[in-house]
Chain A
Amino acid sequence: MEKFTSHTGVGVPLRRSNVDTDQIIPAVYLKRVTRSGFEDGLFAAWRNDPAFVLNQPAYAAGSVLVAGPDFGTGSSREHAVWALQNYGFKAVISSRFADIFRGNSGKAGLVAAQVDEKVVQRIWAILEDQPGATVTVDLESRTVRAGEGVDAVEDSFDIDDYTRWRLLEGLDDIGITLGREAEIAAYEAARPAWKPVTQRV
């Protein structure tokens, strides 16, 4: 997993609440055997609509999604996070995330930044006023920033300490466990020789 300290990228205003994981990635895309390539299924139902935000050139290269409350509800599919990442999103800002989605995001390295509802509203206003404007998600200082001058938004966001630490260090669960190499090796060295193996390697 890549380290995440701060990211600045085009903000995408998604003016919808209760975006569930079936909307993020419909079930028909789950038959894939890879962990990549899910970008074509992202918000599949909405992308047929020319007016949908990602179909507008100014937002197409977006990397910070700014969504309404209760983002990521529904089924636990990890594919929802992969689809957002495969598309190019590094962070999602919302006033409320579903628990499982938040957990899956943390595991995969997508920042789920929880802010006040009013902050979402103000960022939406900026992004719609100036399509293609950027949003900064600074994990080090736990702040989101957007806009300039009198309308500029700067506010803190919530993320739990453990997830923040892992993201800052670029550690996924596997990365953390691989950091226990010495302990695993010591355990392996002490295992009885008669324990079964599937092949001699």
Chain B
Amino acid sequence: MSRTGGRTLAEKVWDEHVVRSAEGEPDLLFIDLHLIHEVTSPQAFDGLRLAGRRVRRPDLTLATEDHNVPTIDWDKPIADPVSRTQVETLRRNAEEFGVRLHPLGDVEQGIVHVVGPQLGLTQPGMTIVCGDSHTSTHGAFGAIAFGIGTSEVEHVLATQTLPQSKPRTMAVTVNGSLPEGVTAKDLVLTLITHTGTGGGQGYIVEYRGQAIEELSMEARMTICNMSIEWGAKAGLIAPDDTTFAYIEGRPEAPKGADWDEAVAHWRTLVSDDDAEFDREIVLDASTMTPFVTWGTNPGQGVPLGGAVPVPAEFEDPSDQVAAERALTYMGLEAGTPMREVKVDTVFVGSCTNGRIEDLRLAADIVKGRRVAADTRLLVVPGSVRVRLQAEQEGLDVVFKEAGAEWRGAGCSMCLGMNPDQLAPGERSASTSNRNFEGRQGKGGRTHLVSVPVAAATAIRGTLSSPADLEPAAAGAAS
């Protein structure tokens, strides 16, 4: 990743964090923020305990409970013993090692990738790690953020550093503007289908271009969140005024003179004009449409207006086999228009699309309408703050009046570690990021969709976009 000319954004952030660099060794990187949750941390803390080590920088470490927590009855003891043990272990570890924890019931509790940005802890130019692959979300602020394994969690706890080999760099330039009703989720799903799930392997990806610049911070997080879904090590976006405006005033944001100094530095965090990327992809946003998946990986997608593909029409024989297997698992006939696919459960939530803007968008669509008779709509805010904000705006009432379930904060049906799961054969339209076999419950069938598609699907009961809906009941529209 080193060159004579200008440097990319990723290279600048990387270089700022090199503690030690030596021939034949990976670079030793300093980690600015280490996020922790209950599932991937217990063995790391146990390793520290066995070796008599401590957490080097508790002040750069933050823990929250998200993967396992129930989204109803969260004030009662967790029923599942394994989940309860993991949560209780995190509480004991946080106490013993002096780590700040936002447990279930705390106002700052939520999905770790929603909580960091919300507190203002996620800032441009940082290195951020977490024992969770969707740590890439934080790259939306111009940070290098990536998921790590449990041994690496222990390494960061003990040393606040991580040995890392420099990845290659890629630019994804998205020109033009997204058409009305087409979201960041559609953009990233289109990109993944275009590149395949391994297209980003070995790269730190910078998303840029007019369409990216026009996105809100929350939409940028949706894009960076799914970087891992096409194999990238991390994804990031150069910070700009949109970024600074989002951070300013948050609890852990710099204040006063510190703010000015921080912003002055953040403005330097852009790829130089003469910087060279190892690879470049160019897309046109203006031609994009609502996009949904039909298969069992995020790269198996089509426009909502399209049909379930015919496996024999794929060029690559291994794609043909994969498509056939996926269609069998998904219970789909080749050639069926996507709009005719009937959905049992709609899930709005996750670290991809569980933020306040997502809930506003969904509420706007279901307002004055009813969820279809045999369809269930589950709305799960990404954090307690998101839930409270939504309730203050009356969004919960909109959802409940439409017949939706309004839940507490957590990962919920994104991965089905808590009781929110699909039954075998049950079909979902989900705003989350993974449609792997069994991801949302054993035998569950997942279609990844944007928030507007999720909301419209809940109303019609088949995969739909808001344009397919009858006008809302008179007097109810906002």
Q: Among the interface residues A32, A187, A200, which one has the most CB atoms of the partner chain B within 10 A?
A: A187
Q: How many A-B residue pairs have CB under 8 A?
A: 99
Residues of A within 8 A of B30 (CB): 184, 187-188, 191
Residues of A within 8 A of B19 (CB): 180, 183-184, 187
Instruction: Say if the beta carbon of B335 comes within 8 Å of chain A.
Output: no
Q: Which residue of B lies closest to A76 (CB)?
A: B149
Q: A34 with B43: in contact, given A173-B155, A180-B28, A183-B20 (CB under 8 Å)?
A: yes
B46 & A36 in contact (Cβ 8 Å cutoff) = yes
Q: A174 with B42: in contact, given A31-B82, A201-B59 (CB under 8 Å)?
A: no
B98 & A196 in contact (Cβ 8 Å cutoff) = no
Q: Which residue of B lies closest to A172 (CB)?
A: B51
13 more A-B residue pairs beyond the given contacts A33-B89, A34-B42, A201-B58, with a C-beta to C-beta distance below 8 A: A34-B46, A35-B50, A78-B150, A107-B151, A177-B155, A177-B161, A183-B19, A188-B160, A191-B30, A192-B265, A196-B123, A198-B100, A199-B58
A198 & B252 in contact (Cβ 8 Å cutoff) = yes
Instruction: Say if the beta carbon of A45 comes within 8 Å of chain B.
Output: no
Please, what's the 1-or-0 string for A27-41, where 1 marks a CB less than 8 Å from any CB in chain B?
000011111100000
Query: What is the CB-to-nearest-CB distance from A134 to chain B, in angstroms, rounded to a whole number?
Result: 27
Residues of B within 8 A of A193 (CB): 258
Residues of A within 8 A of B253 (CB): 196
Q: How far is the CA of A195 from the CA of B124 in the complex (A)?
A: 10
Q: Which residue of A lies closest to B261 (CB)?
A: A194
B159 & A177 in contact (Cβ 8 Å cutoff) = yes
Query: What is the CB-to-nearest-CB distance from A100 to chain B, in angstroms, rounded to a whole number?
Result: 11
Please, what's the 1-or-0 string for B21-46, where 1 marks a CB less than 8 Å from any CB in chain A?
00000001010110000000011001
Q: How far is the CA of A138 from the CA of B149 in the complex (A)?
A: 32
Instruction: Say if the beta carbon of B199 comes within 8 Å of chain A.
Output: no
Query: What is the CB-to-nearest-CB distance from A50 to chain B, in angstroms, rounded to a whole number?
Result: 31
Residues of A within 8 A of B85 (CB): 33
Q: How far is the CA of A26 from the CA of B59 in the complex (A)?
A: 37
Q: A174 with B155: in contact, given A34-B46, A192-B265, A201-B98 (CB under 8 Å)?
A: yes
A33 & B159 in contact (Cβ 8 Å cutoff) = no
> Which residues of B, 39-75, contact A by the 8 Å Cβ criterion?
42-43, 46-47, 50-51, 53, 58-62
Query: What is the CB-to-nearest-CB distance from B14 to chain A, in angstroms, rounded to a whole number?
Result: 14
Instruction: Say if the beta carbon of A197 comes within 8 Å of chain B.
Output: yes
Query: Which bucket holds chain B's interface residue count?
Result: 35 or more
Instruction: Say if the beta carbon of A152 comes within 8 Å of chain B.
Output: no
Instruction: Say if the beta carbon of A125 comes within 8 Å of chain B.
Output: no
Q: From B20, B42, B100, B265, give the contact of A33 (CB < 8 A).
A: B42
Q: How far is the CA of A195 from the CA of B17 in the complex (A)?
A: 13
Instruction: Say if the beta carbon of B430 comes within 8 Å of chain A.
Output: no
Instruction: Say if the beta carbon of B215 comes within 8 Å of chain A.
Output: no
Residues of B within 8 A of A1 (CB): 51
Query: What is the CB-to-nearest-CB distance from A174 to chain B, in angstroms, rounded to a whole number?
Result: 5
Residues of B within 8 A of A192 (CB): 261-262, 265
Residues of B within 8 A of A200 (CB): 59
B43 & A33 in contact (Cβ 8 Å cutoff) = yes
Q: Which residue of B lies closest to A200 (CB)?
A: B59
Q: Which residue of B lies closest to A34 (CB)?
A: B46
Instruction: Say if the beta carbon of B154 comes within 8 Å of chain A.
Output: yes
Residues of B within 8 A of A32 (CB): 42-43
Q: A177 with B28: in contact, given A33-B89, A193-B258, A198-B59 (CB under 8 Å)?
A: yes
B28 & A174 in contact (Cβ 8 Å cutoff) = no
B155 & A197 in contact (Cβ 8 Å cutoff) = no
A184 & B261 in contact (Cβ 8 Å cutoff) = no
Residues of A within 8 A of B150 (CB): 78
A199 & B258 in contact (Cβ 8 Å cutoff) = no
Q: How far is the CA of A193 from the CA of B19 in the complex (A)?
A: 17
Q: How far is the CA of A69 from the CA of B59 in the complex (A)?
A: 47
Query: What is the CB-to-nearest-CB distance from B437 to chain A, in angstroms, rounded to a whole number?
Result: 16
